[in-house]
Structure 1
Amino acid sequence: MVHSVTLCACLSLLTVLSCHSRVLPRLSFPKGSPGRSLNVFKNPDVYNTTTLLLSSDEGTLFIGARDAVLSIDVSQSDAMTMKEKLDWSPSEKDLADCAMKGKMKMDCHNFVRVLQVLNSTHMYACGTFAFSPRCIYINSKTLSMATGPSGKPEEGRSRCPYDPYQRNTAITVDGELYTGTVADYRGTRPVISRHLSEGSHVDVKLDDTLGWLEDPTFIRSTYVPSEEKVYFFFSETGREYDFIDKLTVSRIAQVCTSDVGGQRTLQKRWTTFAKAQLLCQAGQELPYNILQDIVTLSPPEGSSEDETLFYGIFTSQWQVNLGRSAVCAFSLKDIKKVFTGHYKVLNRDTLKWSTRVQEQIASPGECGLHNASDNTLRFVKDNFLADKSVQPVTQGLTLVSPDKSYSNIAAQRVRGARGRDYTLLYLLTESGFLHKAVLLKNGAHIIEEIQVFDQPQAVKNLLLSVSKGAVMIGSSEGVISVPMSNCSYYWSCAECVLARDPFCGWDPVMKLCTDIHTHDHLVQDVDGGNVSAQCTYVTPRSRSAQSRTLSGEVVSVSLNEVVHLQCPGASHLAKRHWERLNSQLSPKIYIQSDDGGLSFVATPSTLGPYLCQSEENGYTQTLGIYHVKQKSSPTVPPATRNRPHSTPSTEAGIKTSIFTTRLITPTPTEPRTEPDAEVDPTDSPEDSPAASTHSRSFTPSLGTEKQDSRKTELGETHPLTDKPSYFQELVVVSVLLALCISALLTIAFHRFGHFCHSRTVPQTPSSRRDAEKGGSATPQERESLRGHSSRLEKRNGQAPNGQSHAGQAHNGTSPIMPSNSMLNSSNGHLPNTPI
């Protein structure tokens, strides 16, 4: 049993990792990057701009902020300017009463949490108002308070939360307000209710009986006209799972807009309330059970409304999935199927759910039950939890983020160049990045990530303006407008196709990447991103609108110097590698870092050209070209190239006392990298690059220097001026030879003087015999002579570099001449170390 559980866990982990490999953003744009423009609205007197509402023409953005309601002009795509401001602040008495309740002063402001359109002329707003919620009517044209039916601000109880950090949802349908919030100061009485009812409609809410809602966190609500139903999305404690303490589950609940409550049973209470579980799970993995946000995507034109999709962000309370987020999609067709199925039964005495089979008196959730009998309404009152869970479409996860926690989501449908519709998701992370992802058959592809916040934001809101082509993000820092498309960033056909952005296509005539809606017959491949198939006859386009000639960065180095070559990144999905002409990059000599850089020691065999290339989706392009050459020096000239290259082991074994490190990067003319496109085969050879190069402006063409580097690679020699000189070494050898001769002459004179002295001293026959035997000297004289001899040997028997003459004689070399092994270890050159 343990082995099977372990195997399932491993398979689940492999599945998760395989999903993670597909969700890496292709491009990243830090905040302030010139490659991605943002429009920001900030006002020093405005805080917490989190509640957003667009006008019907999407030319005005209404913002519910702290103690104010604003109107912002967003008709221009590149600017946001404030039009009007409505102050709505609590009085000093309200603030004092809030402080007496033990609340912090910062939380006692009026945070606008509900902002909805009532009709063509008025809006309806509700705020926390110092923990005493209130609501007002607002004239949309003048942004001023309007008089309501009561003639004064209305109480916001059951319409707006008391606590500004309590989540809620609200939506207006035909002038009536449907809300999901809490109805008390402590936040322990959740309620789904309808307000501002007119005509035969009355305000209705949930029954006060326990079991309808279990400590919910309301997320969002939406209206489906064909069903005449309002759907509420929230998370709550799943009481049906009584074997797990406080298990959180995600829910969808429904009410009919025609519901007016029962005549005797459930008077002014919902008779059509029903709820079901949303199950975001893949295979046998633990489910992502906590709903963070959800958005409604309408079906394509001409399709049934059953094709409406709901994309939700889910996190998990399980330790194995902490820090991850999953996106699941649910269809309206599956939701309707669950609500028309069987229901669980709630025991009111024990508050336990069961699935026992019983006679079905009515269909819970069915509209029109307000005229039903009391027996039918009692059945509906105890049977409102659907037995089955709503499964995601394709029975799996739409997207999984391995290391990002998503908080908000928006979705839209975009028609590509070939008439096919693609779904785009905009996902806001807790850390302040916006991910733009396109959903494909083989998984999600994140086109780019854009940093929109400097610091993580506790409360955020996401809103799309399709007509303006912008994503509106509200936070405590202000409102940020992000353009949906960024086609002008891609300056080549290859990059335009590899981006796989449904908004963008390559124009082969204008030689630019442009918006798909402005031109016809554009080159695009969102599904496959196949560059070779789409860009065969497309010429590159640089910023100067001229084809770029082959050039590179000249890197002048000294021998034994550590060289670093930097490779610019094309995208996070590309694999970078280095190449040399007719040479392999041995790992014993070259070190390739994770950021794409290449490091090595400059030797005669490592000089020459280097190419940094990237491979993405089967397409290879050159990002940088470097020509490493030796510096010209009068004392230590460059080595000749016609000598044989040293072996890798010899180069790896070169030892130097000092290494100088250089970081070589191309000098950009623009603030971002711009990979070039492939070459038009119709271009002339002198104008077309031999390989796609990076769009940085390198050092001008190398000319003869580049030709010389190519000659040396083929074994040709340099001119006579490049031949090495051994003048310094010759002077050193001459000096050492003179010193040795002087030492030998000194020893010879000394020995000759001693011999003459011994001849003049009279000796006895016995002493002469002892001298002939070598034993005439006294012990003190022998000790003195031995010490003198050892000093001479120590003086004359040691070479200047620390090696003995005997060892050098053994090698057959002079003590002042380099050996053959030294020549081999330096490629035929004397060492450059001073003696």
Structure 2
Amino acid sequence: MDSLSFLTLMVVLLGLMGRCMSGPTPRLSFLTGSSGRRLTFFSSHEVSNTTTLLLSEDEETLYVGACNAVFALDVGSEDVITLRKKLDWSPSDKDLEQCSMKGKKKADCHNFIRVLQFLNSTHLYTCGTFAFSPHCTYIHLDTLKMDPSTEEGRGRCPYDPYQRNTAIVVDGELYTATMADYRGNRPVISRHLSESSRVDMKLDDALGWLEDPTFISSIFIPHDEKIYFFFREVGREYNFIDKFIVSRVSQICTSDVGGQRTLQRRWTTFAKAQLLCQAGTELPYNVIQDIVILPPAEGDPADETVFYGIFTSQWAVNSGRSAVCSFSLTDIKSVFSGNYKVLNRETLQWSTWVQEKIANPGECGLHNASDNVLRFVKENFLAEDSVRPHGRRLTMETSRHAYSRLKVQRVQAANRKHYTVLFLLTEAGFLHKAVLLQPGVHIIEEVQVFEATQLIKSLELSISKGQLYIGTSEGVLRVPTSNCSYYWTCAQCVLSRDPFCGWDPVTRICTEVTGSQSTLIQDIDGGNVEDSCNSLSSTHITRFGPSKRPSASCPAGELVSVSLNEVVRLHCPAASQLSQQLWERPNSRISADLYLQLEDGSLSFVATPTTLGHYLCLSTENHYRQTMAIYQVKQKSSTGSQTPPSYTRTWARPTTQASTRPGTHTSGTRNWPKDTESRQVETKPSLSIRNSHVTTPQLSRNRTLWTAGSGLRGAMFPDGEPVLSAPCPRFLKELVIVSVLLVICLSLLVTMTLYAVRQRCQSRTAPQTRTLTRDTDSRTSEDQEALRGNQIFNKRSCQAQNGDRAAGLVCNGSLLEYRQNLPNTPL
């Protein structure tokens, strides 16, 4: 491989790695059981596999199609979901036995409700799998009792409970898309319950109009009198790839009654086109998972209708990724009014060569057309062009989450501007609420709705009640669409960028936006706290919070007692998952060679005289700063006892502080509760959930908590030292004392060294005192004189050599350096 090819490959791999890390991050995260997000759950030992949800017109009753039963739930109360009525609809023992004899599992042989539609103002039309033998029936709304007689459900409901289907009732007629045989090999789009002179309709099975499809959804467009079916299937036009999946949109006209001779009782208005969820030249997200409709705003034309869908990819490079694409009704209609591909019946190959267009496939009213026209639309039903996403870009793309279901709502903000909000369910059991903005998608929050991963088959939205209903294998869960009361200050309310919520300057609470509240403070597009909240009158709002709540501009502080050379770790909770933690020291600098900031935002360092002092942890989000924690690190006293086990500290919410730039106001805050004295094991801090438990690092008995009453200025530590006003360490006096002591030590060292050398010389040159013997007494006077002469010579020799200090002292042939050091004595 040459260098150019290798470089190209590396660029591609880096690009793919960059894409794998893409995706918006939820600002807040609420785990199951969190008091910061109120959820209501209905469950019963008789309820399982709630596969279908249907909300009444007044949105007070939720009809649930479950396993072997249909329920009517009262959802009018905000606090509880109660059971109104229940209808048991179970297969008999004989039906279950026959299902088992066909080789099916006993768990799959129950009656799973797959069609639940309002037929009229008095009845429901319901179909179930009924032990792999579909049945349909009529149910009275008032009594929730079904008619004694049932109908065969073939072509209206799937046999297999795991096969997806879609159904919709228009003017008392049922339009379905499902599998019409036991093996699941005969897909069909059909109409049933036709009234008056109209006949039931279906696709011509021999034409190959559908290729192993999976049906997703069906949507009725009243002003066009058309029903759009969304599904995915094998794209036979891409014959160079085996089983290449494509997403489709097809249409039929509700006025279609089939041809007179050609296409009798068959659709004459059926046409389909490819939905292409693709950005530029990248690989497309070709597998549709769910799609919903967003009607136009009031007063806008009907063609402003938009469809939002979730797509995944069959390509390995996009494995685990999800994308959201939007398609306009105008683009769909434009594709269906264009050219169509031609199917060669002999080779079953599609071609795009242009032939004379004698009719427009998909156009309503073709049932009265000639046989020649009907033969043309019979062979030309695949549009040549693909429906591309609105704006030719992806609405959302992420590798962090795999989405499965969605709902969409248009919300009018306080400034009368409309925003699109998506509610997305992940396969991991989280609900994401996201708002679409010009720069991109902002995920306001994520709520964990299930601890264990489970397949979600139904999701319903009540716009008037502001509630989401999720059908699970265990029951029904209700989630409010807004959570305004969680944001306790103007700053937090603005930073959330939630179109549902706005800050009321009169009541000083974050409240839900209504049509009459145009004075609420919001900044959905920018989330600018200073420009939004600083506009409040400082005469009656000194902080961006209500005066009835505890007001403190700084959080509770901690006095940390440590020993020198001990490793200290200071924790800093994050205000949100989009914030960044920043540590500061008054009148000092936090350098990388002394401090280490960990991934969780905590600060670690070694306790030295230089690192003792005050520390502030600030959380910065969108140019807005909040003080999250304040510490004073002090050296332990000599009488300190051993370090006890750590204990847990409970935080209600992080206290906020406005940006420290001149001219800014301080935001309203809520004090953190006093620390509990029950000792617990330390856990990872998390402030993404209101009233969650956040733990501090291990504390010694000398480590005390303190509270900054009304700000940093004037607050005192327990030992009487003011917060952040303690004098900076001054080492000039100590430096002078140490220097003087060092000079004295060096002088003493030199003196002692010289003295020791002198004593050594004298001891070696002085006459030796010993006991005289007979030998010494017998020495002659000449010998004694010679001895005295040698002593004088040696003494003079030592004195002469001692004069050369540079060469050192030489006594008795030994060199003695005068610059010797005592052991463990610093130079």
Tell me the TM-score normalized by structure 2.
0.81
Aligned-residue offset at 1:764: 10
- The 3 A distance-change label for structure 1 pair 420 and 118 is same
Aligned-residue offset at 1:460: 2.2
Pairing partner for 2:630 from 625, 628, 642: 625
Aligned-residue offset at 1:549: 5.2
Give the letter for the 2:423 counterpart: Y
CA contact (8 A) 2:41 2:478 kept: yes
Q: Which runs of 5+ in 1 are unaligned?
A: 637-658, 725-754, 773-805, 822-835
Tell me what 2:603 maps to.
598
**What are the residue-to-residue correspondences of 1:547-626 with 2, within 5 Å?**
547-548=551-552, 550=554, 552-626=557-631
Q: Does 1:540 align with 2:544?
A: yes
CA contact (8 A) 2:625 2:656 kept: no
Tell me what 2:312 maps to.
315
CA contact (8 A) 2:625 2:657 kept: no
**What are the residue-to-residue correspondences of 1:642-721 with 2, within 5 Å?**
667-670=649-652, 672-673=653-654, 675=656, 699-701=706-708, 702-703=716-717, 705-707=720-722, 710-713=725-728, 715=730
Aligned-residue offset at 1:661: 11
CA contact (8 A) 2:651 2:672 kept: no
Aligned-residue offset at 1:413: 0.2
Aligned-residue offset at 1:173: 0.4
Give the letter for the 1:360 counterpart: K
Q: Does 1:246 align with 2:243?
A: yes
CA contact (8 A) 1:540 1:678 kept: no
Tell me what 1:743 maps to.
none
- Secondary structure at the aligned position of 2:362 is classed as coil
Aligned-residue offset at 1:309: 0.3
Deviations 1:269-323 (A, max 9, x none): 1111000000000011000000000000000001111000000000001111110
- The 3 A distance-change label for structure 1 pair 61 and 279 is same
Aligned-residue offset at 1:680: 13
- The 3 A distance-change label for structure 1 pair 174 and 41 is same
2: CA distance, partners of 1:193 / 1:9: 52
1: CA distance, partners of 2:160 / 2:468: 28
1: CA distance, partners of 2:623 / 2:85: 54
- The 3 A distance-change label for structure 1 pair 384 and 416 is same
- Secondary structure at the aligned position of 2:206 is classed as coil
2: CA distance, partners of 1:556 / 1:68: 64
Tell me what 2:821 maps to.
812
**What are the residue-to-residue correspondences of 1:735-750 with 2, within 5 Å?**
none
Tell me what 1:525 maps to.
523
Deviations 1:349-382 (A, max 9, x none): 1111111111112111011111111111111110
- The 3 A distance-change label for structure 1 pair 13 and 820 is closer
Query: Which moves more between the two structures, 77-86 or 166-175?
Result: 77-86
Give the letter for the 2:530 counterpart: S
Tell me what 1:489 maps to.
486
Give the letter for the 2:513 counterpart: I
- Secondary structure at the aligned position of 2:224 is classed as coil
Q: Which runs of 5+ in 2 are unaligned?
A: 537-542, 675-704, 709-715, 739-767, 785-814
2: CA distance, partners of 1:8 / 1:53: 52
Tell me what 1:179 maps to.
176
Q: Does 1:403 align with 2:400?
A: yes
Pairing partner for 1:514 from 511, 514, 535: 511
CA contact (8 A) 1:673 1:696 kept: no
CA contact (8 A) 1:530 1:617 kept: yes
**What are the residue-to-residue correspondences of 1:365-514 with 2, within 5 Å?**
365-514=362-511
Aligned-residue offset at 1:621: 2.0
- Secondary structure at the aligned position of 1:35 is classed as coil
Root mean square deviation, CA, Å: 3.5
Q: Percent identity?
A: 58
Aligned-residue offset at 1:386: 0.3
**What are the residue-to-residue correspondences of 1:32-47 with 2, within 5 Å?**
32-47=33-48
Query: Which moves more between the two structures, 708-717 or 298-307?
Result: 708-717
- Secondary structure at the aligned position of 1:349 is classed as coil
Aligned-residue offset at 1:420: 0.2
- The 3 A distance-change label for structure 1 pair 563 and 335 is same
1: CA distance, partners of 2:667 / 2:616: 12
- The 3 A distance-change label for structure 1 pair 100 and 22 is closer
1: CA distance, partners of 2:643 / 2:212: 66
Deviations 1:645-674 (A, max 9, x none): xxxxxxxxxxxxxx9899798x3342x545
Deviations 1:463-507 (A, max 9, x none): 100111011111112211110001111111111111100001111
- The 3 A distance-change label for structure 1 pair 808 and 13 is same
- The 3 A distance-change label for structure 1 pair 355 and 682 is closer
- Secondary structure at the aligned position of 1:97 is classed as helix
Tell me what 2:764 maps to.
none
Aligned-residue offset at 1:699: 2.4
Q: Does 1:332 align with 2:316?
A: no
2: CA distance, partners of 1:44 / 1:676: 50
- The 3 A distance-change label for structure 1 pair 236 and 18 is closer
- The 3 A distance-change label for structure 1 pair 403 and 711 is closer
1: CA distance, partners of 2:560 / 2:460: 50
- The 3 A distance-change label for structure 1 pair 675 and 113 is farther
Aligned-residue offset at 1:461: 1.3
- Secondary structure at the aligned position of 2:248 is classed as strand
CA contact (8 A) 1:562 1:660 kept: no
- The 3 A distance-change label for structure 1 pair 81 and 393 is same
2: CA distance, partners of 1:5 / 1:384: 46
Give the letter for the 1:812 counterpart: N
1: CA distance, partners of 2:16 / 2:411: 29
Give the letter for the 2:557 counterpart: G
Aligned-residue offset at 1:454: 1.4
1: CA distance, partners of 2:41 / 2:818: 82
**What are the residue-to-residue correspondences of 1:199-348 with 2, within 5 Å?**
199-348=196-345
Aligned-residue offset at 1:13: 6.9
- Secondary structure at the aligned position of 1:220 is classed as strand
Aligned-residue offset at 1:574: 1.1
Aligned-residue offset at 1:511: 1.9
Tell me what 1:656 maps to.
none
- The 3 A distance-change label for structure 1 pair 717 and 366 is same
**What are the residue-to-residue correspondences of 1:735-774 with 2, within 5 Å?**
759=771
CA contact (8 A) 1:563 1:662 kept: no
2: CA distance, partners of 1:124 / 1:88: 14
2: CA distance, partners of 1:5 / 1:124: 63
Aligned-residue offset at 1:106: 0.5
CA contact (8 A) 2:233 2:245 kept: yes
2: CA distance, partners of 1:169 / 1:7: 46
- The 3 A distance-change label for structure 1 pair 696 and 278 is farther
Aligned-residue offset at 1:181: 0.4
- Secondary structure at the aligned position of 1:272 is classed as coil
Give the letter for the 2:396 counterpart: L
- Secondary structure at the aligned position of 1:699 is classed as strand
Tell me what 2:109 maps to.
108
Aligned-residue offset at 1:628: 1.3
Aligned-residue offset at 1:33: 1.1
2: CA distance, partners of 1:350 / 1:266: 22
